[in-house]
A and B are shown apart, each in its own frame.
Chain A
């Protein structure tokens, strides 16, 4: 086999080489509540499974995540080649609330090779929750190409739809006042993670195109738990949404026009600026990959530059206001 790039088959459930193949989608938006959702309310609205605890963390930014909810699927899997494969199993769904402001739905699954080439009884799939077995001839690369394609066939596996459904339970939960703190488009990030490829270096490729659809493909060497990569994808989706939303507010406020209103920026300043914390909960083994991706995509640089620009504008306008109404600026007495 040496010298020939092997066409990678779908890993078995207990793959001897520890290979794993996961896919999922993250839907990110703002929570409908006038102020930051306090952690006690977050714990109540995210309690999607009776008898299961909502995980809440306060540092470095408040984060609450629902217990996992499973949903069954039995449908066609998208592929790059158009070859049809069937997937049967369950998606893991969860909802997270970041900083009491950002509501994130995440649905994902582990794709594994099917058993005996046919659909098993349902108890078989619930004995391996959070995985979808692939029935039919297929390969990792073919499925990955299909999963990351923007064009969606409604008959295909739809983790994003499952994520949205789970978020909807929380979005309209009693206790939330339904007021939008700011208008912001929801973003979708579809991802594929493969682990355990021989000699593979950690890799991550983020694609942002027109509209709200992004893709992220992550490759990891053996030994890194794929779950850590799921959290990484959610972290990237969060920060991509924050940046997208901030840039949208900036473009609405016409910063380059001195008479333009800064009003559209106020909710972003109030609700979002403090939430930028890349890799806050990323597994230490994946931090170099996360920071590398950030550097390459320039997310933090663009965020920092935009925040600096907003602050400069606010300072500038404040000074202008002061100079118009108060004592002259720069005489050494102002503000003392």
Chain B
């Protein structure tokens, strides 16, 4: 179990461990895809045709390939966010809500301080996103630390509240007065849009932010705070006797998780949508958890898994359009992958132990 491995001893690379991780991840996805195929067969659809359109949809052209990278961006950032809490055994399932708060705060700052020069305003919007996400997550963290409130319930409730908050804002206080009553905010000025990496595609600088955050995460796990997070995750009791402040660590990891999820919301607004809309985050939170778990909560692993799931999502949308196969197939695959990843030690390692 990498999640509860005490830090510090894995100095040299353990190839066997990596091979096991990659092998079982691939096996999990294959089994999930196979079960999906059986479901399609059972309902009289052609699974080969469905998966073919899925693959083509994700990789078929340069444009589609960049769309996959575009989707991988928020998945990767949010998965890093999830991994910080999960490594601490804090089960924050609220990155979706934190993402939305990041989107709200940053859009509001951009539209309110529109007269500031972009050099100042762009970093400001990002800071606002971090604050928004961190606040939302910090609520759950503080309630867990001081009042023992189960974070799974509080964060899932905060997801629903955040959704209605966005919906309220874009059809009320933040609604575009010239938007013909569409539930959306005013559009953000061009000068604040994140630069595109390849002209003619939607791939933008947020992708680079995501990669930069992977590097930050790698350093984080080698830092004192990262170490503390892992110790508290491995055992509350050990951490307590070692003199670590467990409650403060809960709040700290919650703030980090929320702040990162907020950045993902910022990237979607300033890189893709350029305005706050109701459906800004549909289902990204649960996907981010799958990506994090499939990547073994490891920053490098999550690059791979975020890319895989982005391909599934982009391809899944294309599959729904061209082959008429419901996108919900992708959700089913997600759920099966989580369960298989969890149960793999039961299937694969029983004999050796």
Partners in one complex: no
| Residues in chain B within 8 A of chain A (CB atoms) | none
